[in-house]
Chain A
Amino acid sequence: MNRSKDLDTIAPDDEVIVSKPIKKSTKEVSPKKNPEIKENLVKEDLTQKIYNILGHTKSPFSAFLVRPKVLTFAERDENEEIFLAVRPHWINNLSWITVSFLMLFVPLFFKYLTFLNFFPSQYQFVAILFWYLITFVYAFEKFLSWYFNLFLITNERVIDIDFNNLLNKHFAEADISMIQDVSSSVKGVFGTFFNFGDVLIQTASEINQINFEKVPNPEKIIKLLKELRDLEEIKNRGGNNHE
């Protein structure tokens, strides 16, 4: 029989009632037994790893979009998750931005071309309007070519989407499991200074190589691809080694 030690309030022979701990009615299911929980844990772990490798994207106009929420593409599968969307580094736009900027000032020099004075002012106005439209469409086309030139890494595959000269669409993809070799090259002063270069992915699929051109942080892309390939290998072996 249990006896109380607090003799001031309870008589020495009073029985002390010890409340038993209430057993929880809901059983905690171990992740090992439930594959769904295990899958979620693996997913969270992978997400964290991706953020550790790639960091977070601050601007939606960035050329390096980590786990973009809005961006999607027509060929995307239902459960496919985009880990990384990359465009060529923004510094590659510098040439056409400079040309467009200079084109804006060309009409200022029209008055020095004496043969244009022969035309009435209406003709000159139309010529200037036409020039500015050409300037706009030149810059717009260049911007679109950059904006829609996307390299995507998803949980299933790597994808290269290109639009050349507004009229040609190029789509290439390869499964993560099909990737054999990945190499990168950073060239030139700008490449070294701004840390961008090419990432060449050799695959065992029909399209035997996919080239991510002039993309920022090639070393991070390689790291991510390695992580995904390792994960794919673990999955193929049965998925028990991830812990």
Chain B
Amino acid sequence: MNNFLNINGLENYFFIITKVFFISCSFLYLIFALIVVKQVTSMSKSVTDKFNFILIVFSYLHLAFSVILVLTMFGL
């Protein structure tokens, strides 16, 4: 496969396409992570309980990891 892609510099194109695809996916995931944060916050406002704070912290941690994912994608 490597040899096949090396012909005419196809390997570079392949990695560029893969990278664009990964970055697009990670951006979509980041938007999803933001929606999760928004939803957990609104759920917590709707029903208040002991562990709401922990759930909100988890949603923000998830958002932070999503940002890390996007940044890692750019670093590829």
Binding site for B on A (CB under 8 A): 60-61, 68, 70-74, 115, 118-119, 122-123, 125-126, 129-130, 133, 136-137, 140-141, 144, 147-148, 150, 161, 163, 166-167, 169
CB pair A133 B65 closer than 8 Å: yes
Residues of chain B lying within 8 A (CB to CB) of residue A60: 49-51
Residues of chain A lying within 8 A (CB to CB) of residue B13: none
Name the CB-closest residue of B to A75. B46
CB pair A73 B26 closer than 8 Å: no
Residues of chain A lying within 8 A (CB to CB) of residue B76: 122-123, 126
CB pair A144 B45 closer than 8 Å: no
CB pair A126 B22 closer than 8 Å: yes
Name the CB-closest residue of B to A150. B47
CB pair A144 B22 closer than 8 Å: no
Residues of chain A lying within 8 A (CB to CB) of residue B62: 133, 136-137, 140
Name the CB-closest residue of B to A130. B69
Residues of chain A lying within 8 A (CB to CB) of residue B47: 71-74, 148, 150, 161
Other CB < 8 Å A-B pairs besides A73-B47, A122-B75, A148-B43, 11 of them?
A60-B51, A118-B1, A119-B18, A129-B68, A130-B69, A133-B69, A137-B32, A147-B51, A148-B47, A150-B47, A166-B39
Name the CB-closest residue of B to A69. B50
The verdict on B8 contacting chain A, using a C-beta distance below 8 Å, is: no
Bound: A147/B48 CA distance, A: 11
Bound: A140/B35 CA distance, A: 13
Bound: A129/B67 CA distance, A: 12
Known interface pairs A60-B50, A123-B76, A147-B55. Does A74 touch B43 (Cβ–Cβ under 8 Å)?
no
